[in-house]
Structure 1
Amino acid sequence: MTALSLILCTYGRTTELERLFQSLAAQTFKDFEVIVVDQNADDRVTPYLEGGRKAGIVVRHIRHHFPNLSMARNVGIRAALGEWVGFPDDDCWYEPDLLQRLCHLFTRSDPLTGAMARWAERSEPDRLPLRLTHHRSRVFRDRMAVSFMLFFNRKLFNHIGNFDSRLGVGQWFGAGEETDLVMRALHAGASLTYHHAAVVHHPLKPPDASARARQEIRRRERGTGAIYAKHALPLHVIARGLVAPILRPLLKGAGAREFIHGYAALLGRWEGMLYWRRQHRQLAGMHKPKIRTSFPETIQPAASKR
């Protein structure tokens, strides 16, 4: 059995893949496969996959012509042969010893369900505990969970299910799928730890002042609002989450752009929470509920998205 399956879902990107595969070829740990779930309608990624194979990487290519990141990851999970799975973004790259460090964690005597690597370009307070907890996740006081930082034992998905395909890039609720997964895992008793020395890189791109950027913020934050409703978070947590995006810029005397972005986040969280609750009520009243995978508007990912 392969030790690790890396599920790489890609859409629209090309040259970024070369950097990722170069970092994979340089890994000191070699017992892994890369499952590429290709959501492009053309063959733009084929040369980069061939380059990865020539570098000695086991690359499996799966076509998935429906741009939905969560659904594509679920396709990869079902195809994975590894005992552990990770979810690199198509524009991230690894430090050479990342997989070796994680493998050391996975083979310890105290078994883990999953581990979270450190995002080099984004800092977090050192005072946060290394073990993630369900209580802290429910009040949004735990470490930030982003998919390219996460590595899980594949058996976890048999227990709690896969990514919720209603959440994430390509959906009206444009984010929140990894937060939802981590919260479900912790609620089920999973043991998740943060490993500071395992480092993954990902560009950190602050939003610009364009209307498109504001719409993208609003779309992503609908996922946060959905998390509020889906996990029935405490009222004080929801209230804080709704007020913080506009209160924070005011308190620190930020410029108009940050305030406008905060207002877009507030709108997104509010409408995401309301739509999720409304959809839940509709499903509860049906004799045979059917989960919808799209909501008031049809979203197609921008070409710059994975």
Structure 2
Amino acid sequence: MRKPDVSLILATVGRTDELGRLFDSLAAQTFTRFEVIVVDQNSDDRLLPHLERARYLGINVRHLRHNPPNLANARNAGIEAARGKWIGFPDDDCWYAPRLLERVVARFSRSDKPSGVIVRWVEQDEQPPSAADLSWERSRAFRDIPVSSITLFCQRDLFKAIGGFDGRLGVGQFFGAGEETDLALRALRAGARLTYEPLGEVHHAVNAEKPRADTATCAAVRHRARGTGALYAKHRLPGWVILRGFAAPMLRPLLKGSFGAELLLGYATLRGRLDGFIAWRRKHAAGHANAQAANAPVKEV
């Protein structure tokens, strides 16, 4: 079998039916020299029928087991197993436009040879960066970021240069988010070139409902916000950037005259960022800035 050009690392736990839409979109890709490395963090065999269906659709699927669940370390396990020159990180509930991989490979193949390509998240509908290339100067001011993992494709050699995702950040950890933005910040600080490709399109549903401020939602918001606070401390961002990050979640709703759910969620965000900033400085500031948590043992099925 020919070596794939692109490795897609799909770390998953809990979900099953959502995989069908993703695999259907991968089967429809105009660029076909890719593999999908499914890093299965479930304790049972719930994924097996879905993986068989993907293979029936003609997709080159590899199946790894990884425990305990840790999104960042699961992706690191996939990076170690990847055979492609370029690596992407689809979520188990996202899906690709038919020409996405074609567009990404074409951008990587141009003469400037970027280290990473960031594509457009259609449903998020955010403004593109101010320049085609991201920069450390703007990113350390939290401009042009955060970067979502579903939009990020990287040269495999980049991970050899800077390491993988930081297993202390992300889903399942005290610092509940930020691992992909941390990766982008480390890459930019090391001089890597990350460029934006607006013709590449990835889809992921966005909750359009008005935000609720019940106890569970506020707790989840606070948990994720710890990751942003950790990034402030880990990357030693300028003081004015950190102060802006603490103030903005409360100021935005107040300036709009919103004193309900939006203000409560802003308060949860502020508390989470403070939690993360203080905890990172206490636990990790003395360590190496790019230290990685150890990966759990992995076996291919």
**TM class by shorter-chain length?**
over 0.9
1:171-210 aligned within 5 A: 171-205=173-207, 207-210=211-214
2:156 alignment partner in structure 1: 154
Unaligned segments of structure 1, at least 5 residues:
285-289, 294-306
Whole-Å Cα distance in 1 between the matches of residues 74 and 212 of structure 2?
28
Superposed CA offset, 1:176-223 (max 9, x none): 100100000001111111111100001112653321111111011100
Report the CA distance between 1:167 and its aligned residue: 0.1
1:259 alignment partner in structure 2: 263
2:28 alignment partner in structure 1: 26
Whole-Å Cα distance in 2 between the matches of residues 15 and 133 of structure 1?
38
Mean Cα deviation higher: 43-52 or 267-276: 43-52
Whole-Å Cα distance in 1 between the matches of residues 275 and 73 of structure 2?
23
- Return the letter of the residue paired with 1:279: K
Asked if residue 245 in structure 1 is aligned to residue 223 in structure 2, the reply is no
Tell me how many residue pairs correspond in the alignment: 288
2:280 alignment partner in structure 1: 276
- Return the letter of the residue paired with 1:11: V
Unaligned segments of structure 2, at least 5 residues:
295-301
Whole-Å Cα distance in 2 between the matches of residues 127 and 234 of structure 1?
21
2:220 pairs, out of 207, 216, 223, with 216
- Return the letter of the residue paired with 1:85: I
Asked if residue 225 in structure 1 is aligned to residue 229 in structure 2, the reply is yes
State whether residues 37 and 76 of structure 1, in contact with CA within 8 Å, keep that contact through their aligned partners in structure 2.
yes
Asked if residue 113 in structure 1 is aligned to residue 115 in structure 2, the reply is yes
Residue 29 of structure 1 aligns to a residue whose secondary structure is: coil
2:103 pairs, out of 101, 104, 122, with 101
Residue 284 of structure 2 aligns to a residue whose secondary structure is: helix
1:300 alignment partner in structure 2: none
Identity of matched residues, %: 56
State whether residues 128 and 143 of structure 1, in contact with CA within 8 Å, keep that contact through their aligned partners in structure 2.
no
State whether residues 233 and 285 of structure 2, in contact with CA within 8 Å, keep that contact through their aligned partners in structure 1.
no
Whole-Å Cα distance in 2 between the matches of residues 112 and 2 of structure 1?
19
2:239 pairs, out of 235, 239, 243, with 235
Mean Cα deviation higher: 205-214 or 26-35: 205-214
Superposed CA offset, 1:116-154 (max 9, x none): 010000122256212100011100111430001000000
